[in-house]
Structure 1
Amino acid sequence: MSGVQKTVIATVAVIALVVGATVNKVLRPAPLSEAQLTEAGVYLFDAPRPVPDVRLTSDRGEGWGRTDLEGQWNLLFFGYTFCPDICPTTMAELRQLSLNLPEQLRDQLQVTMISVDPNRDTPEQLRSYLAFFDAGFAGATGEPDQLADLAQALSVAYIEPDTSQDNYLVDHSGQVVIIDPRGRYVGFIRPPLRPEQLGQLLPRIMDAGD
């Protein structure tokens, strides 16, 4: 190969790199603004926060902990299956949000309900409840101290109920926690959820966090 040919090939390669970078910059969506996030009820931290390595039990009767959050994006909602209003509404909204995502991104997102009512929410009860909304949703619960450690780390509030009463209710907050593929707490979504807006913003959040 002559020197001229080598020069031409090198020049073409440089041009291709420049064009590729330019096209990628043009096609990549602009960074999300704080106003866009606020309007959708999303709050992202400046720096990720750690998640404690708690030991819970999944809706499959298996151990569940921080490692179950790694390898995919996660949305965690703290509630319970006997909840009369907030929980079924939120789970239905999360189902709609999931359906609004492109299929390839849907496979990279895990929705998990953390039950704050371990007295009644057995693995079987959780699994039956979650299947009503989406077969891909997961669930977990555990000992009160483990649940409290996880909730505190994720800024979730709830009040342990008086289980001696029939048909007791559990007071709890309604935000949805966002966990990145490295198992870190990166933000949350305030209620009420807006599935249509979130279906447009969440892919960009996931892309920016990769």
Structure 2
Amino acid sequence: MALSGVQKTVLVTVAAIALVVGLTVNKALRPAPLNEAELQAAGVYLFDAPRPVPDIRLTSSTGADWGRGDLEGQWNLLFFGYTFCPDICPTTMAELRQLTLSLPEEDRRQLQVTMISVDPNRDTPQQLHSYLSFFDAGFNGATGDPGELARLAQALSVAYIEPDTSEENYLVDHSGQVIMTDPQGRYVGFIRPPLRPAELSQLLPRIMAKAD
């Protein structure tokens, strides 16, 4: 049956309205664009181009092999610290717990936090596992050969000083930034301390969505 002129006009009008509504909804759901000032205010620094991560061999807190391949398939926040650290490490891990638990569930599933030990002399996989279990946030850990650890830290611009392990209760000097890698296992930026979980919980989903 042929449509009348009025019916055609109605259909065109409905289609136009549907298109406008669709574009409006899409714009509303799209993450707001990131700007440099906003990122820096939250301590986030993103590179213009991702940087490679070397294929190293460490051991995870579960006792399995851990390497570059473990960074692939999800976003990662890497923190270089150690379990006997008296201040910055427990503070940072608690802030990372606060951050991850405040993310939307979908984003939380796409993010893995891993603590990489700069004290492999004391931080066995079992020690790391016990320490990370305290935070009850699904955190992973990695430890192992000092040479492999140093190679990874150098590639990610993380500084630490190997301690005199002959001293009792020695401390390890290390930087406190949190490294960000993308689902392709590439180094894309870092977060400077002190962490700001409230601001980061708003920014991280937008960073993750922007790079999809």
TM-score by length of 1: 0.91
What is aligned with 1:181? 183
Describe the shift of the 1:30–1:81 C-alpha distance in structure 2 as closer, same or farther (beyond 3 A). Answer: same
133-142 or 165-174: bigger deviation: 133-142
Runs of at least 4 residues of structure 1 off by over 4 A? 1-5, 8-19
Q: Is 2:85 aligned against 1:83? A: yes
Q: Is 2:132 aligned against 1:130? A: yes
Describe the shift of the 1:19–1:58 C-alpha distance in structure 2 as closer, same or farther (beyond 3 A). Answer: same
Counterpart of 2:152 (choices 127, 150, 153) is 150
| Structure 1 residue 103, shift from structure 2 partner | 1.4
- Secondary structure, in 3 states, of the residue corresponding to 2:134? helix
| Structure 1 residue 17, shift from structure 2 partner | 5.3
- Secondary structure, in 3 states, of the residue corresponding to 1:96? helix
Between the aligned partners of 1:27 and 1:61, the Cα distance in structure 2 is 41
Between the aligned partners of 1:13 and 1:148, the Cα distance in structure 2 is 61
| Structure 1 residue 134, shift from structure 2 partner | 2.2
TM-score by length of 2: 0.91
Q: Output one character per residue of 1:108-133: Cα deviation in whole Å (capped at 9) or x when no partner.
A: 11000000111000000000000001
Between the aligned partners of 2:85 and 2:101, the Cα distance in structure 1 is 23
The answer as to whether partners of 2:31 and 2:209 remain within 8 angstroms in 1 is no
The count of aligned residue pairs is: 210
| Structure 1 residue 21, shift from structure 2 partner | 3.5
Which ranges in structure 2 are unaligned for 5 or more consecutive residues?
Answer: none
For the aligned residues, what is the CA RMSD? 2.2
Between the aligned partners of 1:125 and 1:30, the Cα distance in structure 2 is 41
**Greater C-alpha radius of gyration:** 2
Between the aligned partners of 2:75 and 2:28, the Cα distance in structure 1 is 26
Q: Is 2:126 aligned against 1:110? A: no
Percent identity of the aligned residues?
79
Q: Is 2:76 aligned against 1:43? A: no
Opposite residue 33 of structure 2, the aligned amino acid is P
| Structure 1 residue 142, shift from structure 2 partner | 1.2
What is aligned with 1:97? 99
Which ranges in structure 1 are unaligned for 5 or more consecutive residues?
Answer: none
| Structure 1 residue 28, shift from structure 2 partner | 1.7
The answer as to whether partners of 2:59 and 2:65 remain within 8 angstroms in 1 is yes
Q: Output one character per residue of 1:175-195: Cα deviation in whole Å (capped at 9) or x when no partner.
A: 000011111100000000001
Counterpart of 2:143 (choices 124, 141, 144) is 141
- Secondary structure, in 3 states, of the residue corresponding to 1:133? coil
* Aligned residue runs from structure 1 range 50-69, under 5 A: 50-69=52-71
Between the aligned partners of 1:20 and 1:179, the Cα distance in structure 2 is 33
- Secondary structure, in 3 states, of the residue corresponding to 2:138? coil
